[in-house]
Amino acid sequence: MDELLTPIMDEESPRLLQTISEHGGYAYVGMAAQAAADIRAAEAARDLAWEQLHSGPWHSVLPVWRDAYSMACLHGAKYHYRNGEFKEALRVLDMGVLMGGPVLRKDLDSAIETLSLKAREGENERFGEREANRLVSEEFNTAKALQVLPNRSLSCKLVVKRSALSLEGFLSEYFLSGSPVIITDCMAHWPARTNWNDLDYLKRVAGDRTVPVELKCFTGW
């Protein structure tokens, strides 16, 4: 297994660790020194940074602790990557993006891109051909639909189909007279009609990602 590259962290680590030490983060520095080879140390460093991030109002948190959190996330992700645990590595990196600082952001973004490609390769092998990845079948089972329709629901006069009927045409030809009509192809140009029915597309743009969710005045994950 190749290594997850983190060139900025490799270059900036000495300076960041020195700054963290100057702000009393001796325990974090001790854990970070072992984090490259020990997942427990990486997780401990991340927990220490997490505590600092929640030690007061967000605006009062020292920026270096956000970068410290990013660093710990990168160490953890590299461990999971080496062990082929791509989904867990992505989850850790997403938290680094959401809660971390700007210094190591490019490393986080680059690692996420690499892991997303790896995760997609694994999913494609699991699900097989593209056509098998559709969420909704293109086929419509008329017999099955008739079983769930109310009695006599199809006993009215013939309902015509009109392709891409304009608003003016609908109002003048059907709405004013109260005649039913089935309008087709009005959404044929919508990208979501095909993209959102394609597992490959959804995994490519979202996949196993962690996103923030806001509920009124509370923000959580």
Model confidence pLDDT, tens digit, residues 7-19: 999 999 999 999 9
Q: What is the DSSP letter of 198?
A: B
Longest dimension (CA), the chain: 82
Exposure of 189 by Cβ count < 10 A (0-12 exposed, 13-18 middle, 19+ buried)?
A: exposed
Which band of pLDDT confidence, cut at 50, 70 and 90, is reported for residue 69? very high
Mean pLDDT value across residues 63-68: 96
- Residue pair 200/130 in contact (Cβ under 8 Å)? The answer is yes
Element (H, E) at 76: helix 63-82
Mean pLDDT value across residues 34-54: 94
Given a cut of 80, whether residue 198 has pLDDT beyond it is yes
Where along the chain do its domains lie? 7-129, 142-195
CB atoms inside a 10 Å sphere around CB 77: 30
- Residue pair 98/212 in contact (Cβ under 8 Å)? The answer is yes
Given a cut of 90, whether residue 36 has pLDDT beyond it is no
Q: What pLDDT is attached to residue 136?
A: 64
